Structure formats: C-alpha cells, structure tokens
C-alpha cells in the first residue's frame, strides 16, 4: 500500500547537516493501523511528511499502490495527496471559520455541487459526533472536539490513508481514548489505512495492528503488536513498554524487599491462553512450592491477554528450578529477578 524504499532525509541549516532519516524502508499494509513510536527527534514527523512528499526525501522512493510519487506531475501529486488525509497534534484549524467551513475547505475545487458538499459535510459531522457544533468556531470547542473537526476535515475527500502526527498528544487521557476509538471506527468501517506516530505506548496499545520502533532515523524494531508486546527484543522497545507494564517501578520496589534463602522472585510473562490454565496452583501441588503473587498486570491487546506477573516462589531449590522449567515448557517466559541464595 505505502512502500518506503531507502528513504534518506538530510536537513541542512546554516551549514549544519542533520540526518533525520537514514535508509528508512518499510511496507505499510493496506487496512492496518501502523504505529510509529520513538523519542522526540527520532525522525517521526519527517517520515510522515515524506509519505505524501510534503517533505522531499534526499534520496529513496515513496510508492503508493505501486505508483512512485516522484514520477508524478505536480497536478497528479495534488490529486494523490487528496487521498491522503492528515491530522495534527495542534489540530491546525482555521480560527476565523466555523466547524462547517473548516470541513468544507478541502472540498474546494472538488467539482462537487453545493448541495453535494453540504451532504458530505453533514455525513462527516454525524460520523465524528459534532452535528450540534457545525456553526461553532474552533475557540468554542474542547481539544477533543477540535480534533474531531480535524478528523472530519481529513476525511472530506474520502482518503485511503490517514497520517496522524501525535494526534492525541495535546489531549487528556480520557479524550485520547475517545479519539483513538473514533480512528479505529474509521479504520474498520471505512477501511482507511492509518499511520500513527506517537511517543506514548499507551496510544499504540489501544489501536495499532503493527508497530515500528524508531530511533535516530532508523527502524530499530518492527512487527505485529502482540509479538512486540509479549517479546520485545531491543532495549528501547523494552523501555517504552515499561511505561505500560510499570517495570521500572516494580524493579525499584523489589530492590528494597528482603527475601529468604529458600525464596526467589520471578517474573512470568505470557500471551493468551496461558492465563486460563491454573499454573500457579499446579506448581504448589506438583512441585511443593509456595507461590505468592507480588504484582500482576494483564493488558488486553487486540482481544489477546498479555500478562506480566511477579511472583515469589518459596521451597527447596530443586523444586523451584523444576517449577521454572515446567513454566517455560508451557510457553511462559520466566526470569529470576531476585534469588535468596545469592542476595543473602
Ligand atoms: P520527531 O517527530 O521524531 O520528534 P523530527 O522528524 O521532527 O522528529 O526531527 C528529526 C530531526 O530532524 C531532529 O533532529 C530535528 O531537529 C531535525 N529537523 C526536523 N525538521 C527540520 C527542518 N525543517 N530543518 C532542519 N532540521 C529539522
Ligand atoms: Mg514530531
């Protein structure tokens, strides 16, 4: 659908060169929501702007449905861009125009009649839940309502793709969830492919199908959202995930927890069905190990449970090791966080 091939983007200002993108290649799948996460300065916004050639890559190719954008005339590119909607962190609405007029703006020159435009705007207002605000001005709206206008405007020309640049970063958590739900609905019901950039893992986990972790202009890690959440490989990915699973706080807390020589603190992580099996009680019964749960966090991502537990096992060394072996055999990731035999 959207194919980026070896995109390099170098900015030059006052003799200083910044390599914002370094050989970035990726194939965005049609109908999916792909999240791109990275810290500030990673090159996310540059990347998004390269997708519709608002930013011209220094080298590399952008293909949309197999058509290389660089090969298009200005007129063809303008037509192509109409099929790519964009939404922004600060909404970018026109302050002096009503909600209705803001949504109407991209329909200028569309060849639609006044009546058709009116019909389209009303459909969009209905879709984003702002029918009663059509004559309001942006200053009279909440942040969430402003972003709904931004979304309606982005959808005006019935795009195949929507690019979201930190679309929820200026919103409170509750409003963020409602905007993400709206984007999911648009993806599901209208089949719009969405590329969403953010620095928050909580945004990614709500709606994305796949994820790119970006660092210094590169793809550091990418894959299916469940694979990455259950088995992150790169340190930066683990760091982003620790905000979701609270790992840092748990590890800090554990540092001050004293344990006995016959105890170990173990992290267990699992995906899906493992949650339905009574593994903990089986361990107590079969291996004579007492297991107590210190922390538990279960996230539901795309209807799949991803669990992270921190448990304390107490018993004979051999029995604890057998328990760990048994869990690993049942596809539960295990990691000894603290070992009483070593700390005392
Ligand atoms: P992100 O969106 O991940 O924060 P950006 O794409 O905005 O990252 O920026 C990537 C790098 O490119 C940064 O070092 C930034 O300072 C630089 N950069 C972005 N836009 C420009 C520009 N127009 N001119 C010069 N440097 C830029
Ligand atoms: Mg940015």
pLDDT score recorded for residue 36? 97
The residue to mutate among 12, 22, 41, 44, having the most atoms of ligand 1 within 8 angstroms of its beta carbon, is: 41
* pLDDT tens-digit series, residues 29-54: 999 999 999 999 999 999 999 999 99
pLDDT score recorded for residue 231? 87
Q: Is 296 in the pocket of ligand 1 (CB under 6 A)?
A: no
- Does the domain at 249-342 match CATH 3.60.110.10? Answer given as no
CATH, domain 2-242, list 1.10.760.10, 3.40.50.300, 3.30.70.20, 3.40.50.1100: 3.40.50.300
If you average pLDDT over residues 238-263, what whole number do you get?
88
With a cut of 60, say whether residue 20 has pLDDT above it: yes
Ligand 2 mean position to 86 CA, how many Å?
13
Highest mean pLDDT among 11-15, 65-69, 94-98 belongs to 94-98
With a cut of 60, say whether residue 178 has pLDDT above it: yes
CB 177 within 8 A of CB 206: yes
Q: Is 41 in the pocket of ligand 1 (CB under 6 A)?
A: yes
Neighbours of 281 (CB within 10 A): 10
Same fold: 2-242 with 249-342 = no
Ligand 1 mean position to 20 CA, how many Å?
6
With a cut of 60, say whether residue 207 has pLDDT above it: yes
* pLDDT tens-digit series, residues 266-305: 999 888 866 556 788 888 899 999 999 899 888 889 888 8
* pLDDT tens-digit series, residues 242-253: 888 888 888 888
Q: How is the chain split into domains, by residue range?
A: 2-242, 249-342
Pick from 339, 334, 274: nearest CA to 307: 274
């Amino acid at each position: 659908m959207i194919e980026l091939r070896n995109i390099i983007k170098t900015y030059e200002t006052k003799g200083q060169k910044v390599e914002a993108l370094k050989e970035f290649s990726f194939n965005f799948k049609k109908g999916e929501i792909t999240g791109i996460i990275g810290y500030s300065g990673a090159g996310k916004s540059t990347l998004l702007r390269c997708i519709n050639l608002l930013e011209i890559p220094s080298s590399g190719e952008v293909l949309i449905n197999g058509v290389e954008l660089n090969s298009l005339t200005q007129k063809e590119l303008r037509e192509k861009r109409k099929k790519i909607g964009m939404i922004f962190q600060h909404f970018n609405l026109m302050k002096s125009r009503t909600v209705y007029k803001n949504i109407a703006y991209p329909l200028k020159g569309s060849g639609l009649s006044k009546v058709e435009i009116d019909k389209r705007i009303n459909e969009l207002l209905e879709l984003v839940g702002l029918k009663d605000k059509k004559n309001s001005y942006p200053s009279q709206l909440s942040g969430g309502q402003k972003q709904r206008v931004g979304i309606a405007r982005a959808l005006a020309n019935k795009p195949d793709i929507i690019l979201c640049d930190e679309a929820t970063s200026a919103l409170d958590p509750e409003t963020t969830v409602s905007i993400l739900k709206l984007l999911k609905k648009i993806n599901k019901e209208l089949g719009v492919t969405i590329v969403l950039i953010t620095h928050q893992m909580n945004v990614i986990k709500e709606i994305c199908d796949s994820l790119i972790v970006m660092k210094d202009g590169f793809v550091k890690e990418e894959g299916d959202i469940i694979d990455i959440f259950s088995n992150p490989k790169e340190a930066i990915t683990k760091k982003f995930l620790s905000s979701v699973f609270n790992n840092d706080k748990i590890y800090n807390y554990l540092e001050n927890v004293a344990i006995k020589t016959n105890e170990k603190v173990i992290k267990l992580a699992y995906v899906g069905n493992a949650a339905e099996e009574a593994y903990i009680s089986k361990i107590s019964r079969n291996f004579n190990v007492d297991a107590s749960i210190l922390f538990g966090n279960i996230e539901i991502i795309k209807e799949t449970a991803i669990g992270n537990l921190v448990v304390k096992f107490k018993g004979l060394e051999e029995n604890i090791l057998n328990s760990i072996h048994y869990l690993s055999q049942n596809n539960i990731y295990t990691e000894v966080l603290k070992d009483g035999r070593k700390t005392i």
